[in-house]
Structure 1
Amino acid sequence: MSALLVTGDRDQDAGVRSLGIPEYRSFLARRGDASFLQYPAWADVKDQWFAERVGWSLDNDELAGVAQVLYRQFPGTRKYFAYLPEGPVADWADPGIDRWLGPLLRHLRRAGAFAVRIGPGPAYRRWDAARLKAATGAGRRIGDVLATEVDPLGSAVAERLRARGWKRCGGDEGDADAQPRYVFRLPLGGRTTDELWRGLNQEWRRNVRTARKAGVRVLAGGPEDLPEFYRLLGITEKRDGFRLGRSLAYYRRQYEALNAEQPGRMRLYLAVHQGELLAAHTMITAGKRVWYQTGASADHRREVRPSNALQWQMIQDAHALGAEVYDMRGVPSTLDPRDRPFGLLRWKLGTGGQVVETLGEWETSMGGTANNTLYRAFQAYLARR
């Protein structure tokens, strides 16, 4: 991609420039709170996208923010859709957002982008598990419940983006977001493992004990175990009525790329009972955060609770790594127990964490008749998918 981009070019307003990987990684290491999607290895996972890493300075030559930009070429043109998944990594509390956002957009436009999608970091609202459990009912949704906390920074960032013509993807539910709008997070910072154990609800503690008593063993897997993980994932998709649409090659590429960047960045956990693999979950670590990414399990012997055993081990390992947050990724917005997806939310609520509504993803066209036309065509293409 680098041959197609304006690289090494410095914007006079905010010093926006392409970064080499060492300099980019150094900034992420100092921050510690960036999403794994903003790490260089993630670009190696996305085989149909080209990547560029950029950064900017404000009042001096020291980097003030960075972003990994993924570019997808629009067929038949030399134009690109620019995607910054869960980025840029910036000081969103700075009211002078135009000091870097405007120059960033100009840089992307020079690179050939006809539209840009970003995923700002601040949260919007949070709900404690107990509040949502008490609010379940027919036709209820998370957004119907008074939030435990509304993040003023998230609200301010949303208003600033709207004022500059950005549009929130997928409306209130985030149906068009590539990353989940509602996520489940378990705070780890400042807590002991005993406190985390007591934070689990009674059913979760009972299930972990059941797994232990039944002899479920939690083992570390390797790349040779990915085919079995993928087989179980197919069973899970069919049982739970969803389709991720990813291939075994995708997970192999992910495992190789993330662990090449840093050993142990992606881990595969296996739950084995009487010599048989019953469940397998993947975990990703970056900075002070840990993510439970994908879970898979068999249809039989569910009574020995292999997934609860896996998750409790993963939570303990995340805590031992010094992570401040264990992010269990997406949850559905329904609070109706009759809805099939509600089971996933109910299961995660049992850990005692919080549902967090992120700001979601935001898009803008680069303007001009040609770019606006391409943007509308691209939106129509995504809608057909």
Structure 2
Amino acid sequence: MYHYQLGISASEHDDFVIQSDQTNLLQSSSWAKIKDNWGNERVGFYQEDQLVAVASILIQPLPLGFSMLYIPRGPIMDYQNKELVSYVIQSLKKIAKQYKALFVKFDPSLFLSKHLIGQENTETTDVQAVIDTLTKEGIEWTGRTSDMAENIQPRFQANIHKEFFTEQDLSKSTRQAIRTARNKGIQVQFGGTELLEDFASLMKKTEARKSIHLRGKDYYEKLLTTYQGQSYITLSTLDLEKRKSSLIKDLEKNKAEAEKFTEKTKPGKVENNQKEKERIEEELQFLEQHLQAGRQIVPLSGTLTLEFGGTSENVYAGMDEEFRRYQPAILTWYETAQHAFDRGASWQNMGGIENSLDGGLYHFKSKFNPVIEEFVGEFNLPTSPLYPLVNKVYKIRKKLRSK
């Protein structure tokens, strides 16, 4: 016999999520503290006295006292158990009525396909059976959407799994980019709120470069403090004076080599020497401009990572485009993932990618040998006769906001 209980403790909820095969950050109880402009309800579903399903529900107020319920990457349950699925859905309808919700939206942590970059895609046939079970309960599946903006959470993500991640597993060009960054003197550090100023400044530069609206320093601080002990910033910096000194030594070597040239020296060697001289002098000029502006230790790239139950999520990343020549982003993302695994994570999610598997996000994140995971996507459970109209308005509003 099943029954459900509202307001279960955060520890009971989180323990169940962590022990499931659907563990994810968005169903951690603390995520509702981040989304504090929404209401929240934690519900546990029991068979006799045993907890068999949970859902952390976000509650979005709507006009006229109505609301929308959203369960990100949940509910957490055995979707092969049709009896349990049916009970959970019926219970959600009752909970929706309590909150005058017009519909319940959820996007469970189930995958339609997975494949390691460069390998054949693998369809998961059992998920189609879950879709059939849910649609028989009167739920609308939004389908295999083609645009990232159509869903609240990305339907495709690039996820680095520990067993597939070593520097040797990366492509030759990615390994070279990491070596270039290190050889140019980039230093990587890990920390918390003491790195916030630099991280927030990088996010502002990213915001301006991409002409998008991102979060501010206060929000990033909220993430770090809410997930205290389960979060960190990775920050790459460059000591401009130290880099300048290194280049001056390189220039001296270059000039010493040129002085040894004779009429018998191969033209190609002379040409390469001249190009190297021009490259060094150009970079020295670049550095001098920034040193004259009073800059010494410059933040180049940063990421902000949250952890939950053996999982790791790279939730925000920024870079100073002016210093792109130093390849800071690739080194930063590589070190972020390596640090996650050193801290005990089994995988690190790098975030969403284009559904077409072709675009800037996809091509950058593919450098780290990830598994490409296709989520099943969103389901809508109508709980009011007004649902068709409200859902139409919701789609129009979401489309406009994504532009």
Q: TM-score range by the shorter chain?
A: 0.7 to 0.9
2:246 pairs with 1:257: no
2:216 to 247, 252, 271: 247
1:20 to 9, 16, 19: 9
Higher helix share: 2
Q: Contact 1:16–1:103 (CA<8 Å) still a contact in 2?
A: no
1:254 CA drift (Å): 2.0
Query: Which secondary structure state, in structure 1, belongs to the residue aligned with residue 16 of structure 2?
Result: helix
Alignment partner, residue 215 of structure 1: 185
1: CA distance between counterparts of 2:330 and 2:225? Answer: 27
2:20 pairs with 1:42: no
Alignment partner, residue 89 of structure 2: 101
2:159 to 168, 185, 193: 185
Query: Which secondary structure state, in structure 2, belongs to the residue aligned with residue 178 of structure 1?
Result: coil
Alignment partner, residue 158 of structure 1: 131
Q: Contact 2:303–2:318 (CA<8 Å) still a contact in 1?
A: yes
Unaligned runs of 5+ in 2: 240-296
1: CA distance between counterparts of 2:152 and 2:78? Answer: 23
2: CA distance between counterparts of 1:243 and 1:32? Answer: 34
1: CA distance between counterparts of 2:17 and 2:219? Answer: 25
2:113 pairs with 1:91: no
Q: Contact 1:57–1:63 (CA<8 Å) still a contact in 2?
A: yes
Please identify the structure whose Cα radius of gyration is greater.
2
1:111 CA drift (Å): 3.1
Question: What aligned pairs does 1:189-338 form with structure 2 within 5 A after superposition?
Answer: 189=163, 196-239=166-209, 241=210, 243-259=212-228, 263=229, 265-274=230-239, 275-335=297-357
Q: Contact 2:72–2:106 (CA<8 Å) still a contact in 1?
A: yes
Alignment partner, residue 121 of structure 1: 109
1:198 CA drift (Å): 2.0
Which residue identity is paired with 2:336?
A: M
2:46 to 54, 57, 72: 57
Q: Contact 1:13–1:103 (CA<8 Å) still a contact in 2?
A: no
- The Cα offsets for residues 220-250 of structure 1, whole Å up to 9 and x where unpaired, read as 23224323322222322343x3624433332
- The Cα offsets for residues 255-296 of structure 1, whole Å up to 9 and x where unpaired, read as 22222xxx1x22111001112110110111111211111110
Q: Contact 2:46–2:52 (CA<8 Å) still a contact in 1?
A: yes
Alignment partner, residue 339 of structure 1: none
2:93 pairs with 1:71: no
1:328 CA drift (Å): 0.9
- The Cα offsets for residues 273-322 of structure 1, whole Å up to 9 and x where unpaired, read as 11211011011111121111111000122222212221222222222233
1:359 to 340, 362, 376: 376
1:112 to 75, 82, 100: 100
Which residue identity is paired with 2:118?
A: A
- The Cα offsets for residues 338-361 of structure 1, whole Å up to 9 and x where unpaired, read as xxxx23211211112221111112
1: CA distance between counterparts of 2:62 and 2:322? Answer: 45
- Percent of aligned pairs sharing the same letter: 22
Residues 126/198 of structure 1: CA separation in 2 closer, same or farther (3 Å cut): same
Kindly report the root-mean-square deviation, in angstroms, between the aligned alpha carbons of the 2 structures. Answer: 2.3
Q: Contact 1:365–1:375 (CA<8 Å) still a contact in 2?
A: no
- The Cα offsets for residues 144-193 of structure 1, whole Å up to 9 and x where unpaired, read as xxx6100123222223223333233475225321111110012214x6xx
Residues 171/316 of structure 1: CA separation in 2 closer, same or farther (3 Å cut): closer
1: CA distance between counterparts of 2:214 and 2:300? Answer: 22
Alignment partner, residue 266 of structure 2: none
Residues 280/245 of structure 1: CA separation in 2 closer, same or farther (3 Å cut): closer
1:130 CA drift (Å): 1.4
Residues 228/81 of structure 1: CA separation in 2 closer, same or farther (3 Å cut): same
2: CA distance between counterparts of 1:383 and 1:296? Answer: 25
Q: Contact 2:303–2:336 (CA<8 Å) still a contact in 1?
A: no
1:167 to 128, 134, 140: 140
2: CA distance between counterparts of 1:149 and 1:370? Answer: 39
Unaligned runs of 5+ in 1: 1-11, 132-146, 337-341
1:129 CA drift (Å): 1.5
Deviates more, 1:211-220 or 1:23-32: 23-32
Alignment partner, residue 8 of structure 1: none
Residues 315/378 of structure 1: CA separation in 2 closer, same or farther (3 Å cut): closer
TM-score, normalising length from structure 2?
Answer: 0.78
